[in-house]
Structure 1
Amino acid sequence: MYLDDGLGIEQDQEMCKIVSEQVKLDLVRSGFVPKAEKSLREPTKRLVWLGTFIDTENGFYKIPENRINKMIYSIDDIISCLTGRKSVFVKKVASVVGQIISTYLVIGNLVYLMTKHLTIDVNTSASWYSYIKLSESSIEQLQFWKLYVSEVNVKHFSVDESCHSIIYSDASDTGFGGYIVEAPQNIAHGMWVESERSNSSTWKELSAVKKVLLSLVNIISGKRVKWFTDNQNVVSIVSKGSTKTVLQNLALDIFSACLKYNVNIDIVWIPRTLNEKADFLSRIVDHDDWGISYYIFQLIESLWGPHEVDWFASDHNFKLLVFYSRFWNENSSGIDAFTVDWYGVNGLFVPPVFLIPRAFESEINFLPPALHTNVDVLVDLLCESKADSTVKTYHAGFIRWKKWAVHNGISRCDILPAKSLYVALYLSSLVQNSRTASPVISAFYSIQWAHHMIGQTSPTVNLVVKNDLEGAKRRLATRIEKKEPVTPELLSKMYSSSFKEYNVMSQRIICACLLAYSGFLRVSELLNIRRCDINFELGYISIFIPKSKTDIYRDCNSVVIAFMDSDLCPVKNLKLYLLWADISPESEEFIFRNLTKFKDRYVLRKENKSLSYTHMRELFIEAFQPFVSDIKKYGLHSLRSGGATTCANLGISDRLFKRHGRWRSETAKDGYIKDSLKDRLIVSENLGL
């Protein structure tokens, strides 16, 4: 029998010596033979025991220098191998991991947290005799130990277990929440974005700890915090890390934040019943948390900026680095903007709808009481006065005018509102550098729109500016080459060449062309058709068009297409396409999507993303090129104009014709029609000559 690794401790030197002699005597009487060269009988205040240096005089543990030097040497050896052959013997990595973990008694849970990526890489090896490549994260962990092992190599006998703050956190399917017990008004809250909602509960709970920590970091910086969570995995991962990369990265983010802000977290598990307040906070859904688009912000900034503070924002819609939020968010400068003095600060105001009256209380107080109820809808109406695409175009046009004005030394006070002469000179400069009148027209209406937005008279009403625009149109006028319409004969040839039984690829272009032709559909309308927008009725189909270019008041038109007894029947071909493509009647998927080859056939991709305009145009060219002399004369608009031209030449009622094509004016409708030679000759044949 062998005895090893014994250690005795007493309060003073004399008592320690007496106990040492008594232990030696007891061992000899029991039949053991003490090995003198491996024993230390004289009392000491410093010694190395089981690879750990113990200093009772100063009250701390340390790892001896020889072990630290060996660890650093092993790390340098691995880095050298990676520099040369880009891979390293797996046993070398495992050895370093073992050396680091063996310092747990002194360094604590950090040895597990900062070796997890190394462990993940070791576990990927095929055998102990193979070579592996280390990830960037593993290399960073090696560098960490090389640089900082000496700084963390100490543990004092007496540790202050008290805490300065207590925090509870929790996560739900919709968001996260947390609060400081001693300051309950300091609440952190946020909502998951769409891509985060499908993550695991452990990811959400761990992210909640990270986000609450970063949200409250300015309050708890430099403090020891007792942190309560109702997820046991989170306690382990925050302390020791995880072999799952995504969770390990979150644990490292928490560790890095604690280092950066000098926060000491002691995380503890509690039952869910003791975490009800944090659970309630995590389930808050802030329906009033809205924001303006980047383009609107740029417009406001160009008109009245630069702004200093975003007074009503959150961590996912703030537009300025300094922002205030309803609850504490990561990087927010404060909560409750109403507690701050706004005087002298050029602030951006995008308040929740229910706070608009309070945010603009001073101005609203001067309104007649009967008008107060209209204030809530003011912001919505201003934002919806133009389509998003129009706002984007006009804003970009105004920014170009502003840059030109600044470059040419025009004072900022003459940019908005602008002087008529300066605008006329700007339009003239565009004429000199443009091949078409489009940039000049865009600039004219962009400047007009910016002035209307702030209630100022636009310089575009000046006759000099108006005549400048008309002159530009005349000088830069180009002949419009309209695309040739597709005829029923061309459709028949395309169908005969392309149709194949059970072939989804060929049926897709056939169906798309026939629907666009018979329904007078624009390409944007065609590509945005979903299966749920289509209703099959007795003798016809109805296709719901939720958003149309000419439907400015969003009446949401429906197109009806009749069943016909022919091979080119759009209804029959649509039925075949939906059947072969396996699109269920209840589906909300786009019917025209990209395809993937599966064995000997094509299937629609699962990603619910419609075909792009470019891809659709390529399919159109491929389908019709063999049957026309010059494919450049034809485009996707040829389908809409082809159907319109055929109907016009057959004498269809103008009222039905215009409604079917969803045209706003006679001029727009007539632009799609190419009159037949027979109809054009009727004019001269009926002059009475």
Structure 2
Amino acid sequence: FEAGGKRRGREGEETKSKEKRRKRGGKQGPGGARRTGALTKVWGKHGRCGKRPRDKGVKVRRDKGVGATRGLRQPVGTRGPEGVHAQAESIKEAVRARGVRKEVSEETRKFVRGLVYRWLRRKGAPTDEERVQMQCDWVERAKAPATLKAYTGAARRVQRWCIERGVGWMPMEESDYVFMLTQLAQYLEAKEKSPANMGMTQAAVAWAHGVAGEVSPTTSLMARTIVTGASKWLQGGTGQKFPIQSEDMERWKETKLGKGGTVWRSEEVRLTQFAVMKDGLMRFDDAVGVRFGDMLTLPSELRIFVSEAKTSKTKREGQWVSCVRPEREEGISAFERVLELVEKMAEAWGELTEKQRKRWAKKHPDTVVETGGKLEYSLMAVPLLGKGETVGGVYLMTAKPMGYKKLLKELKEWGKEIGREPTKMGLHSLRRGGATDLKLLGVRDTLIQEAGRWKSEKSMKKYFDWHVEIAVRVRDVREALKRAGDEGGEAKGDADLDGSEAELEAAIAEGEEHADKGRPDPGVGGQGSAVS
């Protein structure tokens, strides 16, 4: 890469690099530097890569047919359906062999270790270090990292409550547990919060006692009755975040990237991450483990292989996630430019010696993810233009991984700019928005459940607000009215009209009833279009 032409010749002479830039007419970049060469071709105005020399010994084909990436270089052997299948299989094998799993925090590991140690002592088994560590590892793997974190957090809060009041924590007496639940319910009622914490506390205490080999107090009929009563009585919100839908992504595209297609590097990268998480119905934990080598770009969709989802039955099961290209491509076209940039970095990495790689990796430990001698960037660690350094005559870009809190902060800031309430937004808003878009497009529930990797239909339906269900009912009734008129003529249409119109009026009345009860206004946060 030529990053501004730092080479200097004798006075009055023009170096070859300057002469080339002058003839090409490079575009102005940040800080007055001229953005030329491969960088301009990657981040071009129209999102397509310009012509460039072929690599020696590699045949290149630009093909827009099946199996070709839009505007990206592609070896001849990978074009066509057979090539795409082979490429997909190689991605699956590489991801499964890698076995990526998000690390749990030290606090979580310490809590699990205490439970395992208690179990071993209760059974009279040896408590040597090796045995405890091995058992802890498999206990941690039994739950998804996010679930394990939530369980240990709730269980530790109960443990602190017991310590403050001088009552036993493990095993916890039934009377103490019931008293704790009543205090928790009163607190939630005073704060107007949802009963979700009741259920989480119940599950966490049961899990902790089970791992420690103790009898859980959650089996008590009185405890279950209190949890049921709190669920019915507490009037707090559901705890679900407002969905971020396609219209929100389009507004971000216009405000952040500009209507003329201007590229604002970091904003485009962020839009890419948000779009992939929304269209792929991804949780944050799903997105963290995704690398650019796990993705397959096709003319009609972007496919990502997720190695370990929260609901995976086995670690190596994996699943393809498809991000369908809509009419207006949101962040997918931006993603392709990022993918091309990653490809260039991988090529540059291959030109370095082993010593140079180790030295650069030691200096930038957060950037390098090396597999089989290949440099890989992840979806949450995307290289940014203007941030990098030259090593061994090769320019490499650095990328600091994006953590949960930082990404959430930026999402809320972006939402505020388009009139959304930051407190009602979260990273799960992207997953909810993707599911809502599919529902309003008429996709069957079973397909949405499979795409979103939900265990049950009941879990999936929690992602749909009441206005979405009503909008779908109104649409179905109107389509039924239209079919009745088209297929059966005027007489059949009149015969079915009364019943269908009554059903339509009932759906609209139900929506008005929800609004009267003080439910969130569907017009808030860009959701009005769904109802209309």
Distance 1:464 1:477 in 2: 22
1:453 pairs with 2:216? no
Which residue is equivalent to 2:226? Answer: 468
Alignment of 1:42-121 (within 5 A): none
Does the 8 Å contact 1:547/1:556 carry over to 2?
yes
Q: Aligned-pair distance for 1:545?
A: 1.2
1:540 pairs with 2:319? no
Q: Aligned-pair distance for 1:677?
A: 5.8
Which residue is equivalent to 2:178? Answer: 424
Which one-letter code corresponds to 1:385 in the other structure? A
Which one-letter code corresponds to 1:510 in the other structure? L
Distance 2:424 2:139 in 1: 42
1:505 pairs with 2:298? no
Cα separation, partners in 2 of 1:563 and 1:461, compared to 1, 3 Å: closer
Structure with bigger gyration radius: 1
Cα separation, partners in 2 of 1:293 and 1:404, compared to 1, 3 Å: closer
Distance 2:422 2:163 in 1: 46
1:561 pairs with 2:377? no
Distance 2:414 2:162 in 1: 50
Q: 2:377 aligns with which of 589, 597, 602?
A: 589
Number of residue-to-residue matches in the alignment: 333
Which residue is equivalent to 1:579? Answer: 340
Which residue is equivalent to 2:61? Answer: none
**Cα-to-partner distance string for 1:43-71 (whole Å, 9 max, x where unaligned):** xxxxxxxxxxxxxxxxxxxxxxxxxxxxx
Q: Aligned-pair distance for 1:649?
A: 1.8
Distance 2:241 2:159 in 1: 37
Does the 8 Å contact 2:269/2:334 carry over to 1?
no
2:208 alignment partner, SS class: helix
Which one-letter code corresponds to 1:615 in the other structure? K
**Cα-to-partner distance string for 1:320-349 (whole Å, 9 max, x where unaligned):** xxxxxxxxxxxxxxxxxxxxxxxxx99622
1:489 pairs with 2:247? yes
Cα separation, partners in 2 of 1:458 and 1:619, compared to 1, 3 Å: closer
Does the 8 Å contact 2:281/2:431 carry over to 1?
yes
Q: Aligned-pair distance for 1:477?
A: 4.2
Alignment of 1:294-313 (within 5 A): 294-300=110-116
More helix by share: 2
Which one-letter code corresponds to 2:319 in the other structure? N
Q: Aligned-pair distance for 1:422?
A: 2.8
**Cα-to-partner distance string for 1:353-408 (whole Å, 9 max, x where unaligned):** 9xx9xxxxxxxxxxxxxxxxxxxx98765554334554455445445545544554
More strand by share: 1
Which residue is equivalent to 2:472? Answer: 679
Cα separation, partners in 2 of 1:672 and 1:422, compared to 1, 3 Å: closer
Unaligned runs of 5+ in 2: 1-105, 348-373, 390-394, 478-498, 506-532
Q: Aligned-pair distance for 1:487?
A: 3.7
Distance 2:320 2:298 in 1: 13
Alignment of 1:514-663 (within 5 A): 514-537=275-298, 539-554=300-315, 555-563=317-325, 566-568=327-329, 570-580=331-341, 582-584=344-346, 587-593=375-381, 598=386, 606-607=398-399, 609-628=400-419, 630=421, 632-663=423-454
Which one-letter code corresponds to 1:349 in the other structure? D
Which one-letter code corresponds to 1:593 in the other structure? A
Which one-letter code corresponds to 1:556 in the other structure? G
1:642 alignment partner, SS class: helix
Q: Aligned-pair distance for 1:463?
A: 0.9
Q: Aligned-pair distance for 1:620?
A: 3.1
1:542 alignment partner, SS class: strand
Distance 2:376 2:241 in 1: 33
1:444 pairs with 2:235? no
Distance 1:512 1:416 in 2: 43
1:610 alignment partner, SS class: coil
Does the 8 Å contact 1:529/1:591 carry over to 2?
yes
Q: Aligned-pair distance for 1:433?
A: 4.5
Which residue is equivalent to 2:511? Answer: none
2:312 alignment partner, SS class: coil
Which one-letter code corresponds to 2:321 in the other structure? V
Q: Aligned-pair distance for 1:574?
A: 1.4
Cα separation, partners in 2 of 1:403 and 1:519, compared to 1, 3 Å: closer
Distance 2:502 2:300 in 1: 44
Cα separation, partners in 2 of 1:424 and 1:604, compared to 1, 3 Å: farther
Alignment of 1:264-283 (within 5 A): none
More displaced stretch, 387-396 vs 455-464 = 387-396
**Cα-to-partner distance string for 1:140-184 (whole Å, 9 max, x where unaligned):** xxxxxxxxxxxxxxxxxxxxxxxxxxxxxxxxxxxxxxxxxxxxx
Q: Aligned-pair distance for 1:458?
A: 2.3
Distance 1:388 1:527 in 2: 12
Which one-letter code corresponds to 1:640 in the other structure? R
Unaligned runs of 5+ in 1: 1-290, 307-344, 357-376
Cα separation, partners in 2 of 1:605 and 1:425, compared to 1, 3 Å: farther
The alignment-based identity, stated in percent, is 20
Distance 1:510 1:584 in 2: 23
Distance 2:276 2:308 in 1: 17
Which residue is equivalent to 2:236? Answer: 478
Does the 8 Å contact 1:517/1:642 carry over to 2?
yes
TM-score, with structure 1 as normaliser:
0.41
Alignment of 1:233-252 (within 5 A): none
Distance 1:406 1:397 in 2: 15
**Cα-to-partner distance string for 1:414-442 (whole Å, 9 max, x where unaligned):** x5444322322232343444544455444
2:303 alignment partner, SS class: strand
Does the 8 Å contact 1:543/1:559 carry over to 2?
yes
Which residue is equivalent to 1:348? Answer: 127
Does the 8 Å contact 1:550/1:663 carry over to 2?
yes
Which residue is equivalent to 1:386? Answer: 143
Q: Aligned-pair distance for 1:642?
A: 2.5
Which one-letter code corresponds to 2:254 in the other structure? S
Q: Greater relative contact order (Cα 8 A, min sep 6): structure 1 or 2? A: 2
Which one-letter code corresponds to 1:669 in the other structure? M
Which one-letter code corresponds to 1:463 in the other structure? L
Distance 1:383 1:419 in 2: 26
Cα separation, partners in 2 of 1:616 and 1:456, compared to 1, 3 Å: closer
Q: Aligned-pair distance for 1:543?
A: 0.6
Distance 2:241 2:454 in 1: 18
Distance 2:314 2:128 in 1: 28
Which one-letter code corresponds to 1:558 in the other structure? W
Cα separation, partners in 2 of 1:295 and 1:621, compared to 1, 3 Å: closer
Which one-letter code corresponds to 2:472 in the other structure? D
Q: Aligned-pair distance for 1:596?
A: 6.4
Does the 8 Å contact 2:272/2:334 carry over to 1?
yes
Distance 2:158 2:422 in 1: 39
Distance 1:633 1:383 in 2: 31
Distance 1:625 1:425 in 2: 41
1:598 alignment partner, SS class: coil
Distance 1:420 1:599 in 2: 58
1:348 alignment partner, SS class: coil
2:321 alignment partner, SS class: strand
